[in-house]
Structure 1
Amino acid sequence: MAFQCQRDCYMKEFTTTVVSCCPAELKREVAGKKETLKGFNVKLKDTILFPEGGGQPDDHGSIGDVSVLRVTRQGAEAVHFTSSPVEVGQEVQVKVDWERRFDHMQQHSGQHLITALAESMFGYKTTSWELGRQRSNIELDTPCMKPAEVQALEEAVNDKIRAHVPVNVQLLNVEDLTVEEVRSRGLPGDHAGPIRIINIEGIDVNTCCGTHVSNLSHLQVIKFLGTEKGKKNKTNLIFLTGNRVLKYAEKSFTTERSLVSLLKTGPDEHVEAVDKLQKSVKLLQKTNLTLLRDLAVLIAQNFKNDPERGNFFSFHKKEGDNEFMNIIANELATEETLVFLTVGEDKGPGLFLLAGPVGLVPEMGPRVLEMLQGKGAGKNGRFQGKVNSLARRPEVETFLQQHCKHHTSEEE
């Protein structure tokens, strides 16, 4: 069957009946972390919420006052995952998140238009496409696309948008001979009911289950952001359609205005200004590294020149790195002296190095890791790693001093 969302892509609200509601789980990924939600799978007599398919993500919306978190297709039925149950047999009002839906309509119809003209103009067939959250891309069966071709294609698709070309939807029976003449990537194995045809008049006829605009003018504009190398000698053409172009322009202008304020130059001079800044930063980093190395040597020499120095040395510096600590350790006679060095925030994360007598360091290293909540390893009289907190550094110093004295008394 064709759902109401496929018969009328512009419908924002719809009244229907709940057919079934049963407990279910939804596995999803949020901010890179996988989670499992407990909820309910709801089936309706019909729906205006599009289940994912044809490269298009599913709709968001609500059934009554219950939010729909996911919509999937099972054969001829759409399954709505909700966080709360819905009464079976109840007549409900279904609403679609229109901003998300219309965005998907624009990107999907834009893909059909680009695909058709890329093939007719250059013979580049579309092998796949992705409707992303911020931008979309079409995979074209060509190793590369010349800049002149990208420009010509962009001009052509926008000419068709300005021409107000109608986009029609047809439902055909599987036995209809017309189906064999339609461009198609094949039907899913569980397809049921009539075949849906999207016809961009005079440009493209294609089988598709997704939601589309009714006229190319509703796409507003298409902007190509460039190309990237794809898989197996193919090219990804990155594009924005409609409202995404407006949002991209607004974001770009906001960024440009911020850069004008920070760099104290006009937009045309931003690249040059940033290049100068990067060179200055590299020079400063190089100078800072040299100074840190010299400081490390001086710190070690100052300790060695102290007539009252003991057999324990501890030092902390907020700015520094592993090289800074290793230079100090190399300058000191760690065969006789236990050295505890740290860099980083006083009570925040950082790095540490423990160096000293071979028989003492392997014993003390794991305990230091535990106290500083860190991870590390050691060999040849050195133990070093990363820590989550340097707040207990004074405790570590006391602990090491005590064991250092104990080790010295045992040797005597």
Structure 2
Amino acid sequence: MDRRTVLRAATVAGGAAAFSGSLWAGAAHAAPAQPGTGPYGPLQAADGRGIQLPAGFTSRIVARSRQAVSGTSYTWHDAPDGGACFTAGTGWIYVSNSEISSTGGASAVRFNADGSIASAYRILSNTNRNCAGGATPWGTWLSGEEVSRGYVYETYPQGGKAGVRRAAMGRFTHEAAACDPDRKVIYLTEDESSGCFYRFRPTTWGDLSSGTLEVLVAGTATSGPVSWARVPDPDGSPTYTRSQVSGAKKFNGGEGCWYADGTCWFTTKGDNRVWAYDAVNQRIDLAYDDSLVSGTAPLTGVDNITGTRSGDLYVAEDGGNMEINMITPSGVVTPFLRITGQSSSEICGPAFSPDGTRFYFSSQRGTSGSSSGGITYEVRGPFRS
């Protein structure tokens, strides 16, 4: 019997129910999520844009790489990646990174209250392979460089102000960031096969110009108590940050990161896992692992992640069959949407509008399979609140 068969058998014997109550409050010590029927039912046939959605949901294209955003003169960037939404007057803003070498940066689309596009513009220029990032409680977007000894840049979705390099947050292969306002720290993932999971403690909450970078320390187990240790040299030169602290736990390709209600959820693409860091009790557990699934795993190629007020997680695939899957508070993992005809792409930047009624994401390389073919979408429908 191989490892996957053994683990799946153990999971089935232990029961399929993964979480009780809210995902945000009850992840610790629970078994990983299992396939099941989602709250919105099965996916329907693909619409005119090649998107399969549950009944009652519709999609539209917001922007295409190298084309002017509808109603504006602004040309959308190549290779759209991580994204987030921000309140802007009676409307909102969707921010998107560009995972292009040397000229990456980030752009924004501003929406009116009725969802029409008001404007589009650049908020960060001439940075390197801006992959994921995260929103801050004070309304800025943290854009990370996915290169060796890359930086985090703090950018301003409203526009009119240049992005600022935040060197104190460490130089490594940055992916996502998630703010924990309760403990006044920012969690950071690292896209390396032997990467680490970090947290940054600003000297003053809301000011990222100085602070302390720490790394999670634990054994090799997939669950149990953890601790944090200071990274001696956040600049990572000549020794990479991930190699400076003995006992730092290694994660296989850190990707998306999302915090809510005492738990930070983060993904690792090398082993198709979604992790739950319980910040209250300082322990980690697995929320999802494709090798622990009974039957065919619906979610593979795990990447960006976001969540909703109802406790649902939405996990995008880089690879797999181009789906965004939900993980519900009851521990069910199920496809929410699928992009057809774009097998050479990946799904990036899932984010909800501030009122939770609209959902944004990008196909980084679209139908062409090239970074110049990126497409950014919006989905509307009866999302549960």
Higher strand share: 2
Task: Judging by fraction of residues, say which structure has more helix.
Answer: 1
| TM norm structure 2 | 0.21
Point out the structure with max Rg over C-alpha: 1
